[in-house]
Amino acid sequence: MARITLSLDRPTGNFWIDTGLVVLIQQFGEGEHEAEEVLRKLVDRLVQKTGKSGVYFDQATGQFREYEKVNWVYPTNLFIKVSGVAPKIEIQINGKKEKFFTQPPVFDLSLKLRKSKNPCDICGDVVPLTDAKMWMYPFVVEPGKFGTFYPGTKRGLKLCARCALAGLAGYLGWLWKAQGRNALHFFIFHADLREMKRLHEEVLRPLQTKGSGGGTAPVAFFGPYLHETTLGLLLALFAHVPESDRLSETARRLLATLLGASAEAPPSAVTLYAVTGKPGQAFNMQALREFSRLQPLYRLYEQWRQRLQEIAPNPHQRLVDVFRQFQQRRDGDTETLWRDRIARAILEFDDPLPFVEQFLFEARAREEHPRPLTPGTLDVLNHYIQEVLGMEEQFRRTLAGFGHTLGAAAHEHNEMGLLYSLRNARNPEDFYRVLNDAQFRLEITVPEALLQLERGERIAGVPWGRVKTLLAIYAMNAYLRRSAPQTETSQPTEQEE
């Protein structure tokens, strides 16, 4: 009878299998275990009653009896397609022959290990192997759905008993968030096994949403796209580092250490794997991304909070509001594509400005009652531009000041079209032509710093397109602020001016 050995000192390096190993060690502890016993207990945790009933024919009494139907828990049932089985008997009812179970069907999984020994495709151990099924490892055994992820495994994956059972346990270690039939996201944190175990026990488990059909992942906001929901997850997680009403002080310190927010030397880097697909009869995977720069992302989050502290009593919530705003209602649905693109740029430390510009001109400015960006948005962008994109602070301030003047003057002269011309400039010649128009039609002076086009089509060392985009954002936001009713929330912050 097969036995498996569980140890925190034997990671595989595979994010799914290692997550399952953590789950196995949490439940069974380190050491040797009977494989069949482990399998039976895992199945018990993954099967639940559906609330429906069926009938089977009891051969001992010759009567039909009811039984409570069970199925794999959602969303595991999108991946594990093994049905309940039981012997059947043919019985004639009203002249028609029908087949009935002779006992309640059992949702059973089995490990069929070969007698010969070969290297496991995941851990490399030379032991008896089994052909991987989807219930063991969803990413490689359905080439039609996941073949592009591991194209080299079309021969079929061969797993040892330990990795096969860890694969099944992996379903119990993920965080997930569902949006009806539109999207299912799931998230897996991966690092050293010991740190993973502590992260699961002390941080993720206490924070998990329970009793909700929408999922177990706590998120600040979410949508049908991967990056926006991933950013929503990370913001919700980051909020517990400075203070927390749900984590113990020990757990909070652990989280701070993992994210590089404490004086202690950070352990091995934590990586987040995020997967998105469309749920249906099965799971149609649409994206899988790896995010390994969580520590610099947390430092950026801390700096944003510090900047927003000057204008908002709850800087975390204001930051959430800043990112949440990039959506629009369309035909009864909420379109969040802009938010996803901005989130992707932030998560990858890329340039989010073109998507902010697009949102401002294509969504906000065309609303029935146009509004400026949520107060604090430009503070967040300004800090990002300086820290990540490396724009010199004085030049950024020059752009912000001129953009404000341009937007205010355009509003005074009812010249929104001029701002669209600025936004639509496709080369430096277009850009300077628009600025020239602005000088004459709005009677404003263009700062000298903008007039010096350098080698490589740069202005003050910045690609001219980025200068144009940022100026268009500043100007349109100033225009919309003057158009909107002056409420407390529409007032500009000092750093936006």
State the pTM of this model: 0.92
Q: Does the structure show a pLDDT above 80 at 153?
A: no
pLDDT digits (tens, 9 = 90+) for 70-117: 999 999 999 998 989 999 999 888 888 899 999 999 998 999 999 999
Helix (H, G, I), strand (E, B) or coil at 462: strand
What is the bridge-based pairing of β-strands 183-190 and 283-291?
A: unpaired
CA distance 337 to 359: 9
Lowest mean pLDDT among 160-169, 262-271, 352-361: 262-271
- 315: pLDDT confidence band, cut at 50, 70 and 90? very high
CA distance 245 to 218: 14
Q: Reply yes or no on whether the pLDDT at 269 is more than 90.
A: no
The helix/strand/coil state of 96 is strand
Determine the residue type at 390.
Answer: G
Nearest to 476 by CA among 325, 362, 331: 362
**Tokens 């021969």 map to which residue?**
155
Task: Choose among 135, 221, 214: nearest CA to 171.
Answer: 135
Closest-CA residue to 212 (of 46, 74, 47): 74
Cβ neighbors of 342 (< 8 A, separation 6 or more) are 323, 326, 352, 355, 356, 359
Phi-psi region of 370 (alpha: psi -120 to 50; beta: other; left: phi over 0): beta
Which amino acid is located at 287 in the chain? Answer: A
- Residue 49 identity: K
Q: What contacts 385, CB < 8 A, 6 or more positions away?
A: 353, 391, 396, 470
Residue-wise pLDDT tens digits, 439-491: 999 999 999 999 989 999 999 999 999 999 999 999 999 999 998 766 555 55
Helices (H) and strands (E) in the chain, counts: 17, 19
- Tokens 């002390």, residue? 202
Residue 436 pLDDT class (50, 70, 90 cuts) = very high
Secondary structure class of 451 (helix, strand, coil): coil
Side-chain-side CA neighbours of 73 within 13 Å: the count stands at: 16
CB 47 within 8 A of CB 70: yes
Mean pLDDT along residues 11-22:
96
Q: How far is CA 58 from CA 52, 62, 101, 103, 490, in A?
A: 19, 6, 9, 7, 72
